[in-house]
Structures are given as C-alpha cells and as structure tokens.
Amino acid sequence: MAGQPDWVPPGVDTKRANIARVYDYLLGGTHNFLADQDLARAMTAVDPNIRAGSRENRAFLGRAVRCLAAAGIRQFLDIGSGIPTQGNVHEVAQQASPDSRVAYVDLDPVAIAHSKALLAGNQNAAIIDADLRHPEEILAHAGLRRLIDFSQPAGLLLVSVLPFISDDADPWRIVATLRDALAPGSYLVLAHATDASRPVVAQAAEKVYNSSVSAQAQMRSREEILRFFDGFDLVDPGLVYVPQWRPDPGADVSGDPGKFWILAGAGRKP
C-alpha cells in the first residue's frame, strides 16, 4: 500500500489494531500504526497503569529466563513471542550461556518478519510461524525439532499469550499437550491477565481492547490460571503479581502490585 513502511509484510491490515503491535507500542516500540496507538491510548485512559504493566510483564519474562538459565536450562520454547524488542529471550539466554537455543513461535506476520530479520545468521534461534491452538503441529515442526531436544529439560514460555486462547479452544488441554512433550526438569513460565485484583478496571480495559483488536482477549481468575500449572510444581514465590516474582535486588515492590492485574509464575515438571 502507498505510504506504508517497507517492513510491513503483504496482506497486513494496518488500519485495524492488532495484539502484537498494540503491545509493541505499549513497550515503546516503533512497529505499530495509528490504529494500534489509538487503542493503546484508549486503554491507558481506562487504566493509566497499563503501559507500566506491559513493561513489568516484559521484565518478568527476562527475570524468569535468567532464573531458568541459572538452573541449567539451555533450551527455550517461547510461544506468542511477539515483535522483537528489548530483552528478547535469545539475548537474555545467550548472555547467560552462549550455547542456549531458542525457538520462538508466533502467528503475527509483523512479529514473524522482524524475528526472521533479527535472527538471520543465528544458528541457535529461529522463529516458527504457528498457532498455539495447534500444539501438536508446533511440537512436530521440523524447525523446532532442530533446536529443541525434548529428551532434555527445556523452558516453555507462555507469557501473556494464553488470554488470546478462548475457553472454547481449551487452553488447559493445549498446555497439558505441551507439558507432556517436555522432559522432567523442564519449566513452564507463564503470565496471564486476571480480573482478580481490580475487576472493574480490568473488565473495562478488556472491553475497550476487544472492541477494536483483531482477536479477542480474556482474563481469567487466579484458580483458572493456577490450573495451567497442573503437572508442574510451582517454584517460589508461587503465582504472584508480576513485579513480585523474584524482583531484581534493590527493586521497589512496595505499594499495590495488583494494580498491574497480571499474575505470573513458574513451575518445574518433576
């Protein structure tokens, strides 16, 4: 389309807000358009904490990858990985251990195109164009099998992607299918929006989001989110609001962490 930047893959509707690009905008990225920015602004009007909450979500991902690397995990499967931004999983993991391998999975064309460009020449990381709703296809993918050895422990990262899988698609079955493929000693890292702490604000933000974005999101209760960890042993500090999960030394986690209404945790497969 005339006037569009040359990085936009063909067929992308830039007039409609989109999950990956709204999140990119909230994180301060540049791979987004007016429709994405308008929706992010409308959500921020409902809850001014949304931008900081997105950053907290991203920071949690980085801390969790560092913790898993410190526990000896050398391979990561990051599903719903998003548009590459600061602190991508392969950067964090390969900083801890240069031989770490990372398979990213997303279905967003902008996320895929940018990940491909960023990962060109990196033998230990790749992006796979696949849908979390079809976990068997992800697990069988040749590009994934090249990077992930399922006989060895791995880190499965499902960070703020499960809200985009409706109850009808049975996200608990999807997570269980992935869990069953993992070797003992593997970890699940998960973050999920919840309406447990601030139901009125969270539900209002969800409504604004779903009125414009190209896919629907849904929040879940603490109990529903805990069920994703079936078959894993939650590690300390359990399922908590994102800033509370193993904060960096010196981080100020006082105040009301529930204002970010995202629960996060990690579990180890025994």
Ligand X SMILES: C[S@@+](CC[C@H](N)C(=O)[O-])C[C@H]1O[C@@H](n2cnc3c(N)ncnc32)[C@H](O)[C@@H]1O
CB of 25 to ligand X, least distance (A): 11
CB of 106 to ligand X, least distance (A): 5
User: Which CB atom, from 24 or from 186, has the smaller least distance to ligand X?
Assistant: 24
Q: Give the pairing type, strands 187-193 and 262-268.
A: antiparallel
CB of 80 to ligand X, least distance (A): 3
Selection from 184, 188, 195, 196 nearest residue 228 by Cα: 188
CB of 6 to ligand X, least distance (A): 21
Task: Give dist(CA 94, CA 101) in Å, integer.
Answer: 8
Spell out where 122-259 has E strands: 125-129, 155-159, 187-193, 233-234, 240-241
Q: Contact residues for ligand X (CB under 6 A)?
A: 19-20, 23, 57-58, 61, 79-82, 105-108, 111, 131-133, 159-161, 164
User: Which CB atom, from 170 or from 254, has the smaller least distance to ligand X?
Assistant: 170
Q: Pseudo-torsion of CA 54, 189, 211, 196, nearest 10°? A: -90
CB of 61 to ligand X, least distance (A): 5
CB of 244 to ligand X, least distance (A): 17
| 86 C-beta neighbours (distance < 10 Å), count | 12
Q: Which residues pair with 265 in a beta bridge?
A: 190
User: Which CB atom, from 12 or from 151, has the smaller least distance to ligand X?
Assistant: 12
Per-residue tokens: 50: 């949304």
Selection from 36, 35, 38, 30 nearest residue 5 by Cα: 30
Task: Give dist(CA 58, CA 160) in Å, integer.
Answer: 9
User: Which CB atom, from 83 or from 196, has the smaller least distance to ligand X?
Assistant: 83
User: Which CB atom, from 111 or from 235, has the smaller least distance to ligand X?
Assistant: 111
Contacts of 121 (CB under 8 A, 6+ apart): none
User: Which CB atom, from 111 or from 119, has the smaller least distance to ligand X?
Assistant: 111
User: Which CB atom, from 65 or from 226, has the smaller least distance to ligand X?
Assistant: 65
Contacts of 144 (CB under 8 A, 6+ apart): 77, 103, 105, 128, 138
CB of 1 to ligand X, least distance (A): 21
